[in-house]
């Protein structure tokens, strides 16, 4: 047993938040599903898991989540001029990230702010999953993601 955790010893979600499920999509990206409770010997997840789906048990790493949120902020500023300032950035962060990171959640927000131009405004919300369009198929419902968009002028 890798985690040395048992559901009988601790509250379910306190363990499950570290070990979400991963479903491999056709483009080989892993789609996360957070188990949140057990009802009548059935795991309840945020978002659907189709019948007969092969699931991976993932392991959340705080450092990786914090770094990924900074990368998300960096991506939304890629097309801005080098001297861009005062942009507005809207952030939707899955609440499962905040629940998983606990006291390190502020580090995630700091990582995002450090990757935005100076004097930028960041507004956002903790959400119960995020909906995104896909170039590979239908819209997807995501868990444990950071979605960022910004308003500002493109490079000339």
Pairing of strands 121-127, 88-94: parallel
Dmax (CA) for the chain in angstroms is 60
- Taking only the tens place, the pLDDT of each residue in 36-95 is 888 888 888 999 999 999 999 999 999 999 999 999 988 888 777 667 777 888 999 999
Sheet of strand 21-24, all strands in order from the earlier edge strand to the far edge: 42-46, 30-39, 21-24, 55-57
Give the integer Cα–Cα distance in Å for 131 and 142: 6
Give the integer Cα–Cα distance in Å for 8 and 22: 23
> Which pLDDT score, from 0 to 100, does residue 9 have?
47
Local confidence band at 153 (pLDDT 50, 70, 90 cut-offs): low
Domain boundaries, the chain: 12-57, 62-151
Tokens of 147: 């979605």
Give the integer Cα–Cα distance in Å for 108 and 131: 21
- Judge whether 134 and 140 are in contact, CB under 8 Å: yes
- Taking only the tens place, the pLDDT of each residue in 86-139 is 788 899 999 999 999 999 999 999 999 998 888 888 999 999 988 888 776 788
- As a whole number, mean pLDDT of residues 152-156 equals 58
């Amino acid at each position: 047993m890798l985690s040395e955790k048992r559901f009988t010893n601790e509250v379910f979600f306190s363990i499950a938040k570290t070990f979400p499920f991963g479903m491999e999509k056709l483009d080989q990206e892993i789609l996360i599903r957070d188990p949140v409770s057990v009802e009548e010997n059935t795991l309840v997840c945020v978002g659907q898991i189709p019948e007969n789906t092969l699931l991976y048990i993932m392991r959340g790493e705080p450092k990786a989540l914090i770094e990924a949120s900074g990368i998300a902020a960096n991506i939304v500023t890629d097309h801005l001029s080098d001297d861009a300032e005062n942009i507005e950035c809207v952030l939707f962060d899955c609440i499962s990230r905040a629940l998983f990171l606990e006291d390190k959640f502020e580090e995630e927000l700091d990582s995002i702010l450090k990757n935005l131009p100076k004097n930028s405004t960041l507004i956002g919300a903790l959400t119960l999953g995020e909906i995104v369009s896909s170039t590979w198929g239908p819209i997807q419902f995501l868990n444990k993601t950071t979605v960022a968009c910004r308003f500002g002028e493109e490079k000339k």
